[in-house]
Amino acid sequence: MTTLKEAKASTDQSTATSRILVVDDENSISELIATSLKFVGFDVRTAATGAAALQIAEEFKPHALVLDVMLPDQNGFEVCRQLRSEGHNVGVLFLTARDTVEDKIAGLTIGGDDYVTKPFSLEELVARLRALLRRTGAIEVAPDEEKIRFADLELNEATHEV
């Protein structure tokens, strides 16, 4: 398993320019995620409400959002729907305690790119976020940077070869 420290060591150059907006009304979770993402090289902003998220997204122009569904003023599904209706093609990773299959389907159907439930692993969140950024074209990864190294093992993420 890759730790955050190892993820930082394998950070590609383009990660440093990838802008991430973390939207969660629980300050402790928002700060934990923001600190972890900054540690591995992302430029991060946070918001605690849907309205703040929409305003920051307009100014900050993030490449991806880590978006909670349960926000105090509107839910994350509505935030995603509004971003999409305004033409924002930003990657959206829902991170929420709402874990029913119906919620997951709703989130992905209205425009979410990924859906992770709480409790969650920071390492998995970083990996999913990087994969989302690759899929959306927000970052390009050189072939050598697609490798995860641990001890004397090397895994090529693209080919799944060890």
User: What are 30-49's pLDDT values in tens digits?
Assistant: 999 999 999 999 999 999 99
Total structural domains within the chain: 1
56 domain-assigned: yes
Residue pLDDT, tens place only, 135-160 = 988 775 544 455 666 666 666 666 66
Which tokens in the block code for residue 90? 């930003």
149 domain-assigned: yes
Alpha carbons 129 and 119: distance in angstroms, whole number: 16
Alpha carbons 135 and 152: distance in angstroms, whole number: 29
Give the DSSP letter of residue 90.
-
CATH code for the domain of 107: 3.40.50.2300
Alpha carbons 56 and 61: distance in angstroms, whole number: 8
Whether 65 has a pLDDT exceeding 70, the answer reads yes
